[in-house]
Amino acid sequence: MTGPAAPCPLWLHQRLKQLGGSVPFSQFMAWALHDPKHGAYGSGQLKIGKGGDFVTSATLGPDFSALMACQLVQWFRTLALNHPTETLSIVEVGPGEAELSCDLIDYLSEQLPDLVHRLELVLVEANPGMEQRQRKRIEQHQGSGDFNQLFRKRWSSLSELKTSPVIGVLIAHELLDAFPVERLELNDGRLHRQTVQLQDENNGDQGLHWGIEPIPQTLQERMNATLSATQIALPPEDAEDGWTTEWHDECANWFAEASEALIAGHLLVVDYALEAHRYYSAQRREGTLMAYRNQRASNNVLVDAGKQDLTAHLCLETMVHQATTNGWTLEGQCRQGEALLALGLAERFSSLQQLAGHQLAEVLQRREALLRLVDPACLGEFRWLSFLRFNPLFPNSGTGERSQFLQEPSDISATMPGRL
């Protein structure tokens, strides 16, 4: 992959010099996003929401969280029956601005008043800058009087939860797409790993450039095992030199760690994802890697290191393989538009017509948000995946009937709570 050089900030220049002037792109991405002092997430300088660098489904308004809460109500009702005395946990990994967590607490407190004393919110945040913002947001929400005081909350890590695993629901909402990825490039008919290098410029400075190196044997072995199990051809036969793509190597370890944090319950993954035949298509020459800053997308991922979000779509087949070989059972998956319709989006949309005339501004705002959530050109192509975690020591650790978001809307009872 070629392209113009990107200026190299001093902190990154020092890191690269210490490591010989070149690192795999995955290392560059880890620093740019998660370095505690300079990373976009690690330092807390990245802003999420309408006035920030990018929006998520949860920051568009309350309806997304309310619809997701309908699914959590179903899961927690079943878990409460199967585990009548234990604490039930909502574990959100990578909570962002904590908007989703705050909204879910409100809705679950309303829909599950008899279980509130058994529920707890566990926030798992690896970046200290983001955790500070989450604590402030939840403190403000609690101070407003809307926050249910009986709803316990705490911050933890997956490694800590492994020592004292919980029963409940683990949520990974727009999390895995921000994991550092291996960037692969086809060169002379063989795949190589892309690197980020320091090179001298005409003005005497050193800038960031792309480079390539052989794929390390251990990485190649992990890739081969997954490609064999999923029957994916990589690279595709008709790909030409210069073709690039991504490989989410870190997801396997994350799924393994997450499975040890949960005794029984569900893992809900909501993220950008494509089928392998679309992800690894020869026509997708530049892969899916993108940068976001100030609500604008760019494919120049080397500029402004530490000041912009970097994201890569997930491959459905490889992600499912990584999950199911590390303690999870796939229940099913669908597009976000389908999931939200099954959870009552159409009824919610219709109910907006019943609001009073003086609420016109709110109606229009919520209507636009609901349309964006299901529009394939916006957020409707997100994938919702439900994974199950069973404990052999608990014969009834299953979660009962098929998840509501995976059902056809016509098959769902109109008596489900929280529809409007």
Helix (H, G, I), strand (E, B) or coil at 202: coil
Six-digit token string for 325:
């070989």
At 264, phi and psi to the nearest 5? -155, 145
419-to-105, 269, 361, 372 alpha-carbon distances in Å: 17, 22, 22, 19
pLDDT of residue 321: 98
Partnered with residue 156 across adjacent β-strands are 124
- Of the candidates 314, 257, 266, 245, the one whose C-alpha atom is nearest the C-alpha of residue 25 is 245
Using an 8 Å Cβ cutoff, are 319 and 251 in contact? Answer: yes
Six-digit token string for 45:
């300088």
Give the number of C-alpha atoms closer than 13 A to the C-alpha of residue 72, restricted to the C-beta side.
32
Six-digit token string for 160:
């800590």
Using an 8 Å Cβ cutoff, are 26 and 249 in contact? Answer: yes
Strand order in the sheet with 262-271: 152-156, 119-124, 88-93, 166-173, 262-271, 383-389, 329-335
- Report the residue count for the chain: 420
Burial label for 410, CB within 10 Å (0-12, 13-18, 19+), is exposed
pLDDT of residue 95: 94
Residue type, 332: G
Using an 8 Å Cβ cutoff, are 360 and 300 in contact? Answer: no
At 120, phi and psi to the nearest 5? -140, 150
DSSP, res 313: P
Using an 8 Å Cβ cutoff, are 304 and 366 in contact? Answer: no
DSSP, res 384: E
Angle, helix 25-34 to helix 10-18, in steps of 10 degrees: 140
Six-digit token string for 20:
């010989």
Q: How far apart are CA 295 and CA 337, in angstroms?
A: 22
Query: What is the set of domains in the chain, with CATH numbers?
Result: 6-44+183-217+234-247 (no CATH), 57-179+250-411 (3.40.50.12710)
Six-digit token string for 279:
């992800």
262-to-230, 257, 390 alpha-carbon distances in Å: 26, 9, 9
Q: How far apart are CA 405 and CA 333, in angstroms?
A: 9
Give the per-residue SS3 of 142-169: HHCCCCCCCCEEEEECHHHHHHCCEEEE
Partnered with residue 213 across adjacent β-strands are 193
DSSP, res 298: E
286-to-54, 126, 184, 210, 236 alpha-carbon distances in Å: 22, 29, 10, 13, 14
Q: How far apart are CA 395 and CA 392, in angstroms?
A: 6
pLDDT of residue 275: 97
Neighbour-count burial for 242-264, b at 16+ CB within 10 Å, e otherwise? ebbbbbbbbbbebbbbbbbbbbb
Q: What share of the chain is helix, strand, coil (3-state, %, to 5)?
A: 40, 25, 35
DSSP, res 282: T
Six-digit token string for 183:
């960037």
Residues of the chain scoring pLDDT < 70: 1-4, 53, 143-149, 202-204, 354-358, 363, 391-400, 410-420
Six-digit token string for 387:
């994974």
